[in-house]
Amino acid sequence: MAAEDLPSEFDVVILGTGLAESVVAAAFSRVGQRVLHLDRRSYYAANWASFTFNALLTWIQQHHEGPQPEEVQDWSSLLEEGEELIYLSNSDSASISNLQVFCFTSEEDEEEETPNTTEEERGAADEDAVKETSESADLKEEESHQKPEETAARDGEQLTNKDTFDLLQASQNEGEEPNAHQPTPIAAPSQSEPTRKKISYAQLVKEGRRFNIDLVSKLMYSRGSLVDLLIKSNVSRYAEFKNVTRILTYRQGKVEQVPCSRADVFASRQLSVVEKRKLMRFLTSCAEETEEQRAYNGRPYLEFLTDQQLGENLQHFLLHSIAMVTEDTPTEEGLASTRHFLRCLGRYGNTPFLFPVYGLGEIPQCFCRMCAVFGGVYCLRHSVSGLLLERDSNRCKAVIDSRGQRINCSHFIVEEGFVGADRKRVATPPRFLSRAVLITDGSLLPSESEQQVSMVMVPPAAGGPVVRMVELCPSTMTCIPGTCEDLVHLTCQSVGSAYEDLSPVVTRMFRTPESHDQEKRPSVLWCLYFNMADGSGLEAEGHDLPANVYVCSGPDGALGHDHAVRQAEDIFQKILPEEDFCPPAPNPEDIIYDTENTSTGEDERQDREEDRQEDVREEDRQEDVREEDRQEDVRQEDRQE
Amino acid sequence: MSMEDYDYLFKIVLIGNAGVGKTCLVRRFTQGLFPPGQGATIGVDFMIKTVEIKGEKVKLQIWDTAGQERFRSITQSYYRSANALILTYDITCEDSFRCLPEWLREIEQYANNQVVTILVGNKIDLAEKREVLRQRAEDFAETQSMLYLETSAKESDNVEKLFLDLACELIREAKQNKLDNNDTAPMPGEGKTISYLTCCNLN
């Protein structure tokens, strides 16, 4: 079946399965457009993906190796009279850079922790044994990232010739420091929590398919455009969500919970009675715009807050954790984001945020499912090599897929990474996000419940960027179930490399071999740094492409998902201005299929689905089914012969 | 939603190569229809059928692949939170049987650890065209600790049995789990749908 060809007639062809592309796909399919949705990768969601730990190791490995050299095929023979060919880039390798991995935990389980796994006891005695037991795919990874120095020495040439991986440099920089992979003070069980089991690298790999790690770190505002869209379209039925349970703040070396709901404020032990009253008064007065607030337009929010006589404590909370802005953000902007925060509060829980179980990578997939349910055709590991341009109209009339098949379409939507550099109008230097993913052995602020999802804004220190941190717990399926292990995501706008931007914060807030006097902090077991292209600069730059080709940018640095949703909606409205964007899909729960009376369900459905195009689609689909049946008959005949 | 009249709700997910008759099995069971081409499936996400087993009402939510299996591009989220998987192949098509290990890898990767998997050989009405011997399939199912059943969606052979057996097995497991974890701590991954979150936070 691998050889089956794609159908060759579509209304919309979409390349890339990131969030914006997937929302667009669902939107078009939902109103009866024939959609073909492709991704060159073997997984969904592009740079929005969530990976199991093992799949993440593979992803890291692929980026170390750099793009597979792929010969550019010459499809010019497929051109017809008056047509021109635009080649697309066959990889998006530029969007990820400066990948660095550190493992600070022991490679093998310590003896007392492995009561029943003989396999690993053997492994502890002989390092190679574990390598034998792990799959061959893992083997390369283990070698390449686990022991930075060794690898660098062995594969030095290979690693330094590319901008992707400067482990060599990193390990040289740390020449003075304790070796990253050596058992370090953290491993000594005598210090703070003698009873806590320390998770070994072998265990992370073994349990690696049971937790999911996101490439981007975002949260869903409970009244943000993504949640609204999920509800409106009924795509929400494909996913499950958890509340973010705490907003934390980091100040003067201490991690504290920010009281943000009314109940929190009254229950707070950090705030004095006077502070509580002030905070409540401020939050209430914020809700509506006043003359007084307008007087501060254009002046820093901090100035406004200072003049409200709130005191330093509250100012800090309001500025960094609630408005999540910087000291020089203008007042009107600070107030707008404070209001947004307050509006989202209490819809689902006592913070304004939701997080999807299994990670953010689920969300684009949910939209893809919706697209498929309405007839969209899906094919991963399949790309578009080029666009066929009609010279007279300067429109893209077809695409050539990676197998040289010509697929006609009226519109083509593409993830920015696949657009060749020669087609980008670069006005400003590309911006990047710095990301770190840490697997830690506990929460920054331990509490009675181990199932906390926390958001922490770390104010800038010494001219560094503001760092946003999200700490996830096992119940979101992002860490090993049944452990105190947590997964921490750090994100900021890049100033330098991800390591340069974020490792000072990591060292300050967690225990690593570089940090000292941090006994009370959770230890970092494993961490990954990388930079990702910031998708928010796209509109300004633009592309030199036909009018019916639309570009979706990758993830942006904001906390919410508004950028991608807006982009999807804009594209949809440009192409189909009259159509509703993602109208509710019929709820299968409402369709009662009855074995005795088969017509009931159908009639009900027909009544609801009055959309004319919908009916056309249904006829098409029936034809498809008949076509399939015919093909099947042919196949069966073949076999008979 | 909590008002609904059932004792158990299970999500059952169908997988297997294109053309093995997954949709036919669902339509036969939920609507008594064959072939399914007579009613369009477009826009229908999953089908519901409530059955009664030993006096208990069991609501089965049966999900189909939406055609994403055609080019091996099923979303991982499709497997999430499934209580049971029906892995289907066509007994008249050796190829669909040979692909089973590939499907099992996907299950291993994305489905919940406790998922109940049943292997189904469909199209036994085409006995004269059989390519996969029953014994072979039974042996394979056994090595993978799966249940095995042969069905004909066309003749309605074993279709009812397939879903009812699954429902029984799921009830048994649910009762067992209740015994095993008598604490009320939430199970990992037991998130809430948005609509559920909404209705529980009205206060």
- Chain segment A216-228, per-residue pLDDT in tens: 999 999 999 999 9
Q: Nearest CA of chain A to the CA of B18: how many Å?
A: 9
Indicate the residue type of B183: D
B193 close to A (CB below 8 A): yes
Q: Is B194 in Cβ contact with A380 (below 8 Å)?
A: no
Domain spans in chain B, listed from the N-terminal domain onward: 8-181
Instruction: Note every long-range contact of A314-320, with CB atoms under 8 Å and residues 24 or more positions apart, other chains counting.
Output: A314/A271, A314/A275, A314/A278, A314/A279, A314/A282, A316/A249, A316/A251, A316/A459, A317/A249, A317/A258, A317/A259, A317/A279, A318/A282, A320/A249, A320/A457, A320/A459, A320/A466
Q: Per the CB < 8 Å rule, is A4 touching B70?
A: yes
The fold adopted by the segment(s) A247-253+432-533 is Guanine Nucleotide Dissociation Inhibitor; domain 2 (3.30.519)
Residue A110 DSSP class: -
Alpha carbon of A610 to those of A233, A607, A618, B116: distances in Å?
A: 17, 6, 12, 39
- From chain B residues 8-27, the ones with a CB under 8 A of any chain A CB are 17-19
Cβ–Cβ of A639/B45 closer than 8 Å?
Answer: no
Q: Which of A209, A241, A589 sits opposite B109 (nearest CB)?
A: A209
Chain A residue numbers with beta carbons less than 8 Å from the beta carbon of B36 are 625
For residue B64, the model assigns a pLDDT of 92
What's the CA gap between A562 and A88, in Å, rounded? 28
Q: Which of A150-154, A193-197, A520-524 has the highest mean pLDDT?
A: A520-524
pLDDT number for residue A363: 97
Chain A residue closest in CA terms to B62: A588
Probe site for chain A from B41, B46, B68 (most A CB atoms < 10 A): B68
**Helices A362-373 and A225-233, interaxial angle, to 10°?**
30
Q: Mutating which of A210, A221, A453, A595 best tests the B interface, going by the most B Cβ atoms within 10 A?
A: A595
Sign of the alpha-carbon dihedral angle for A49, A53, A54, A60: positive
Residue type, A140: K
**CATH 1.10.405.10 holds for A262-344:** yes
pLDDT for A317-364, tens place per residue?
Answer: 999 999 999 888 999 999 999 999 999 987 888 899 999 999 999 999
The structural domains of chain A, with segments of one domain joined by +, span 3-99+358-428+538-575, 125-213, 247-253+432-533, 262-344
CATH topology for A3-99+358-428+538-575 is FAD/NAD(P)-binding domain (3.50.50)
Residue A69 neighbours by CB under 8 Å, 6+ apart: none
pLDDT in tens, A168-203: 233 333 333 333 343 333 333 333 444 456 788 998
Q: How many Å apart are CA A345 and CA A371, to the nearest integer?
A: 31
On chain B, the residues whose CB falls within 8 A of the CB of A209 are: 108-109
Structure tokens at B99: 């692909």
**Could you tell me how far CA B174 lies from the centroid of its own chain?**
16
Q: pLDDT tens, A539-577?
A: 656 788 899 999 999 999 999 999 999 999 999 999 999
Q: For residue A212, what is the enclosing H or E element? A: strand A212-214
Report yes or no on whether pTM surpasses 0.80.
yes
The tokens for A221 are 């505002």
Sign of CA dihedral A22, A28, A31, A34: negative
Q: Which residues of B touch A594 (CB under 8 A)?
A: 31
Helix (H, G, I), strand (E, B) or coil at A445: coil
- Other Cβ atoms within 10 Å of B203 Cβ, number: 4
- Cβ B81–A240 below 8 Å, yes or no? yes
Q: Could you report the predicted ipTM of this complex, rounded to two decimals?
A: 0.91
- CA B72/CA B90 separation, integer angstroms: 17
List the structure tokens of A285. Answer: 């007065």
**CATH architecture group of domain B8-181:** 3-Layer(aba) Sandwich (3.40)
A-chain residue closest to B4, CA distance = A589
Q: What is the mean pLDDT of residues A392-415?
A: 94
- Say whether A141 sits in a helix, a strand or coil: helix
CA distance A92 to A39: 11
